[in-house]
Amino acid sequence: MNMGEQDQEIITRLASLCGIQRSYWDIWGNVHEIQVETLQKLLAAIGVDASEPAKTLERLERLSWTRLAEPVLVETIGRLPEYLRFQLPNPTGDNDEQFAEELQVELTIEAENTASTVHSYAPEQITFNKARRIDGILYGRWSVPFPGGLPVGYHRFKLSVISPRQEHKQSIAVIVCPAQAYLPPSLRENGKRAGIAISLYSLRSQRNWGIGDLGDLKEFVRWAIEFLHVDVIGLNPLHAISNRQPYNISPYFPSSRFYRNFIYLDIEAMEDYHSCPEAQDLVQNEKTKKLLERLRGSTLVQYEQVAALKIQVLERVFQAFLQRHWDRKPKRTERGKQFEAYMEQEGYMLDEFATFCALEVFFHNRNPNVWVWHQWPEPFQDPHSMETERFRQTHWEPILFYKYLQWQVEIQLQEAQDLATSLGSSIGLYHDLALGVDPSGADSWAFGDFFVKGVRVGAPPDDFALEGQDWGFYPPNRENYRDHGYELFIQEIRRNCRAGGALRIDHIMKFFRLYWIAEGQSAAEGAYVENYYQDLLQILTLESDRTKTLIIGEDLGTVPPEVRETLQSFGVFSYRIFYFERDEQGVFNDAEVYPQYALAAVNTHDLPTMAAFWTADDILLRNQLGQFPSQQEVEAALTRRREEKDRIVQRLVASGFLSEESARDEQTYAELTDELHEAILGFLLSTPAKLVILTQEDLFREIKQHNVPGTVSEYPNWSIKMKYSLEQLSRDAEIEGYIRLFRGLVDSSGRGLFAPA
C-alpha cells in the first residue's frame, strides 16, 4: 500500500470519527461511495485539518484522554450510569494504587431550585480503569461511583480532582431525562383525536389587516372546536421572518426559530393600543382605511405592506407603553414589571434577537441596498464586538421595542391556547418547528459558531429531484452544541413548545443525520453526517414532559426502519401521509397497517391538496412552471397519477368506504366527488393512528396549494389566502355540508371532542 492509499484510509477514519458516513443507499437501492475529495471538504468545513491526516487523527483520538471529563452527560432516569469517569496525567508514572491514595476527588452537584450538595470520595472509592501514554506522559482513566437519586432535570457537576502535583477542575452538564415524551391523557390507552390545520397567514376576516392574525386565530379556534369537534388546531411555523417578498416569507426558512413573527399581532386587541390616541388616529385616518381595505381584498398576502403598516402603528403603541408603564423607574407600574419579568426570563437570547432586529433596520435605513448582515460594517457582524456592545447601549430604545413585540406575541398566542383549553380541548394549538434557518438571519448572526459554514443542507437525488436538492442553509455544528451542554437545542425545543399542546418537528431525521453539500460541489456529490441522536431525543423527552407537549416527528422520505423504531421507543409520534402509505408493490395500505402512535394526514404543505391531486392540477402547474424536462415526462407523470388514483379507489372499495358503483364511474377519476371525498376522510379517521389532521384546504376541497417546491418567485408560495372568510365559516350555507360531513365522521370515529362515550 503506497502513501497515498494510507492517507486515504486515514481520512476515511477521520471522517468516521467526525460522523461523516462513508456511503449511503439512495431511493433506487444503489450504494453511493463518498469520494475522498468530498470527505476532505467536509472535514475542512468543521475545522478538521486533513492535510496531515495521521497527525490530526492522533490529536482527535487523544482528546478523550487529555480532558478531565466529558462536557455533558445525558442520561435516562432509572438507568443512570454506575460510575463517573475522568482522566488524569500521571507524569511520574507512579504505582496506580499509590497514586489513587494521593488523589482527592470532590463533586459538587448543583440542581435546579435546590441547594448544592458536595460528595467527597475516599481512596477506596476511586477505581483505576486503564492507561495510555501520550507525548511521553502517562494518562490514567479513573472512576468514582455516580451519585444516586438524581431527579429528572438539569444538573451541574463541578468535578475537582487534586493529584500530587496539581488540581484539575471541570464543569459537567448532567441532564436526566424521562424514558419517553409526554402523552396527553386523552390519547392514552384507546384515546384518539382529530384536528384541523391552517396556515395562520391565510385566514381572511373583515377585521384583520390583510393577513391572518392572533385575533383571527382565536375566532378559528372557537369555530373549529364548536363546529368540527376537533381537539387540535395545527399551525404553520410562526417563526420570525424578514417579511420581504418573495425571498423572505417562507415559514420554513426563518430568521429565528427562537422568536416569532410580529406580523401576526392583533394590534387592535393590544392593551397599550387602547391607551394610545396617536396609534388609533393613524389607524382611523382615511389613507390607512383605504390601505386596509385593499390589503384585506387582495387575493394574496402582501407581507411587506402589512409589516410596514403594523410597524408604524406599533411604534406609537410602544411609546404609549413607555410613557405609562416604563419611564417611571424605579416606580414602574405592574404592567412594566411584567415586561421586566419577561425579559429576565428570556435573558441573553432575547437581547441578541432584538439587537439584530434593531441593527438590521439601522443599516438598511442608512443604505437601502443593505439587506443582509453580511453587508454590515465588519465589527457589527460580530454580536460580541465592542461596536455592537456600544450600539446596544446607545440604541437601547429600538432594541427594547423589538423585545416588547415578542412579549406581546407571546401574550396573544397564550390567550389562543388558553381559549382552546377552556373550550374543552386537551391539546389545543399544534406548532411546527422548521428544519433550518436563513444564513442571513438573526440566529446565524447571533450563534454563528453553532453552524458549519462552507456547507449547505439538502437531499440526494430522488424521483422528485433527479439532481438532488440544495436547501440553502447551514447544518448544525454538533460538537459545539454538545460542548455547550446542548443549551441552544434545549432553548429551541422549549420555546417552540410554548402556548401549545403539540409540536411537529420538521425533518426529524436531522436528529440522526443530515445530507451535507460542500461549497463548490453539486447536490449529487454530498454526504450524510451523523448527529448525537440519543442525546437529542432524550432531551426532547425532558422538554416534552416539562411543557406537557406531544411530539410529532416528520419522518417522511427515505427513513430506515430502525429510525422509526427508535423514535417510537422515545414516545415520538410518527407522521403518516395517505399518499405515501403503500407497500413495496405500490398498493395502498389498509387502514389497520397505520401505526397507533402516529399522526395521519392526507398531505403536507409541500404536496398537492386532495382536490388538486385528483384532477392532476399539481402536475399541470409544475409543467407550466417548467419543472418537467420534456412533454414525455409530463405524460408519464399523468399516467402514474391515473394509476395511483386507481389504486386508491381499489383500497377504498376493499376497505368498505367507497361503493363498487362509484369505482366504475369515470367521474370518480375525473374529480374529487362528494362520495370520494367522504371515503378518503372516513378511511383516514378509521386508522389506528391516535391523531388525524385535515387541512382546511382539504376540508373545503380547495385546489390551490400553499407551496410548490423548487419555486420562489415563479409561484405565490406562502401567500395564498383561505377560500372562505372567518365570517362565512359559521353562517354560510355553501360550506355547511363540508362541516356536517367532517363533524359526523369525526364523532362517529370516536375522535370527536364532544362525541358520546
How many whole angstroms separate alpha carbon 76 and alpha carbon 91?
37
Distance between CA 235 and CA 196 in Å, rounded?
9
Entry pTM: 0.95
CA-closest candidate to residue 638, choices 666, 672, 615: 615
Count of Cβ atoms closer than 10 Å to residue 680 Cβ: 23
Q: Which pairing describes strands 104-111 and 117-121: parallel, antiparallel, or unpaired? A: antiparallel
Contact, 706 vs 605, CB < 8 A?
yes
Positive/negative CA dihedral, 285, 289, 291, 292:
positive
Q: How far apart, in whole angstroms, are the C-alpha atoms of residue 361 and residue 365? A: 6
Mean pLDDT by 10 residues, the chain (757 residues): 71 93 88 93 92 86 90 96 93 64 92 89 92 87 94 96 89 97 97 98 98 98 98 98 94 98 98 97 98 98 98 98 87 93 97 98 97 97 98 98 98 98 98 97 98 95 81 96 97 98 97 96 94 98 98 90 95 97 92 97 95 97 93 95 96 97 92 96 98 98 94 95 96 91 97 77
Question: Looking up cell 501520550, which residue turns up?
Answer: 134
Domain ranges of the chain: 3-63, 78-177, 185-573+724-748, 605-722
Evaluate whether 516 touches 527 at the Cβ level (below 8 Å): yes
Q: Tell me the C-alpha distance between 195 and 751, whole Å.
A: 9
Q: Which cell is 74 given? A: 445525558
Which segments within 533-610 are labelled E, that is strand? 550-553, 574-577, 598-601
Return the sign of the alpha-carbon dihedral for residues 70, 72, 74, 79: positive
**Number of DSSP helices (H) and strands (E) in the chain, helices first:** 26, 24
Q: How far apart are CA 493 and CA 502, in angstroms?
A: 11
pLDDT at 101: 76
- CB atoms < 10 A from the CB of 48, how many? 22
**Rg of the chain taking only CA atoms, in angstroms:** 28
Q: Is domain 185-573+724-748 classified as CATH 3.40.50.620? A: no
Residues in Cβ contact with 375 at an 8 Å cutoff, skipping those fewer than 6 apart? 363, 369
CB atoms within 10 A of CB 124: 8
In sequence order, the 6+-apart residues with CB closer than 8 A to the CB of 489 are 481, 536, 539
Q: Are 279 and 323 in contact (CB under 8 A)?
A: no
Q: For 331, phi and psi rounded to 5 degrees?
A: -100, 60
**Per-residue confidence (pLDDT) for residue 95, from 0 to 100:** 56
Contacts of 425 (CB under 8 A, 6+ apart): 221, 225, 231, 232, 233, 501, 753
- For the packed helices 396-422 and 334-346, what is the interaxial angle rounded to 10 degrees? 90
Amino acid making up residue 722: M
**285 DSSP assignment:** S
Distance CA(545)–CA(542), nearest Å, equals 5
What is the residue whose three cell numbers read 431550585? Answer: 113
d(CA 18, CA 432) in angstroms, rounded, equals 30
Q: Which residue has cell 395500505?
A: 589
Q: At what angle do helices 733-748 and 674-686 cross, to 10 degrees?
A: 30
| Count, residues in the chain | 757
Grid cell locating 120: 467527597
Task: Find, among 549, 592, 609, 606, the residue nearest to 573 by Cα.
Answer: 549
Q: What are phi and psi of 70, to 5 degrees?
A: -70, 150
Q: Which residue has the cell 451535507?
A: 516
**Biggest alpha carbon distance in the chain?**
90
> Which three three-digit cell numbers place residue 506?
420538521
The pLDDT, as a whole number, for residue 97 is: 64
Neighbouring-strand partners of residue 104: 162
CATH of 78-177, one of 1.20.120, 2.60.40, 3.40.1000, 1.10.10: 2.60.40
CB 647 within 8 A of CB 587: yes
